[in-house]
Amino acid sequence: MLSIETEARVAKILLALAEGERSIEVSRQVLSDNYDFDPYQIFRSLDSYCKNNIDTCDIINFLRTKGIYTNELEVSLLILSYDEDSNGTLSYSEFLNLVQSENSPKKKNAFSKTEKLSFNIEYSLSKLLEKEIELSRNILPLLQDLKCRYDFNIHDIYHLLKNINSITPESLKCFLDRNYVSYLDNDINNIMKRLDINKDGRIDLCEFKVKKKKKKKVLMKKKLKKKLKNLKINYNKN
């Protein structure tokens, strides 16, 4: 049983997701409205080592060239919102959900004759990714605050939000209404867009838990790198 204070923190995270998605969709629309918008060309441009996927390093390196600095944890949270198979990278079909506005005509098989992105595309893409990073930065402290609650339990939160077998738009509305939270008409849809990774209209437990698991993996990876670096320094000294 979750306390009222913990439920309020969950509601705050959901509203932050809705607000962030609202702003991100505007940036998607700007990118998609470019006359030379070619999602496959963008995908190939970011996939600098021709791996047929986009990983955290690809996004970090692109943003760095635009003077936007981020870290692996923030970019990992970005990728998680679109990573349907939970392998830590984005395939082309997953990447489409990141860059293509829901209000724009779908361009799944566009192939540009040139590899270089135009200035407008690069600029619009950098602004879109910057919005995603901003959302990660806003969500991380809220998640940490929630995790520090004495009654925090991911399964309890999921069961609180779900309808019968999964979280649905209707169950999200019921949760927010029960906590007397005011929200805009499109906020429920925006929350679903952020958490419904496989886009089947509902959020199952695996989708709901994935961010927590991946965050732990990133932190463990960072600690391992730090230990290896220290070992290397000590070895060189000796």
Q: What is the largest CA-CA distance in the chain?
A: 64
User: Which of 126, 140, 107 is closest to 36 using CA atoms?
Assistant: 107
Residue 192 to residue 176: CA distance in whole angstroms: 14
Comparing C-alpha atoms, which of 214, 203, 215 is closest to residue 159?
Answer: 203
Q: Both tokens of residue 77?
A: 């949270």
Q: What is the pLDDT of residue 21?
A: 97
Give the start-to-end residue ranges of the domains of the chain: 4-209
Contact yes or no for 181/9 (Cβ under 8 A): no
pTM (two decimals): 0.84
pLDDT at residue number 227: 52
Amino acid at 49: Y
* Helices 119-147 and 4-32: angle between axes, nearest 10 degrees: 170
Look-up of token digits 């998640």: 143
In Å, what is the CA distance from 26 to each residue of 18, 126, 212? 13, 13, 27
Spell out the per-residue pLDDT of the chain, length 238, in tens: 899 999 999 999 999 999 999 999 999 999 999 999 999 999 999 998 999 999 999 999 999 999 999 999 999 999 999 999 989 999 999 999 999 998 877 655 555 556 689 999 999 999 999 999 999 999 999 999 999 999 999 999 999 999 888 999 999 999 999 999 999 989 999 999 999 998 899 999 888 876 554 544 555 555 555 555 555 555 555 5
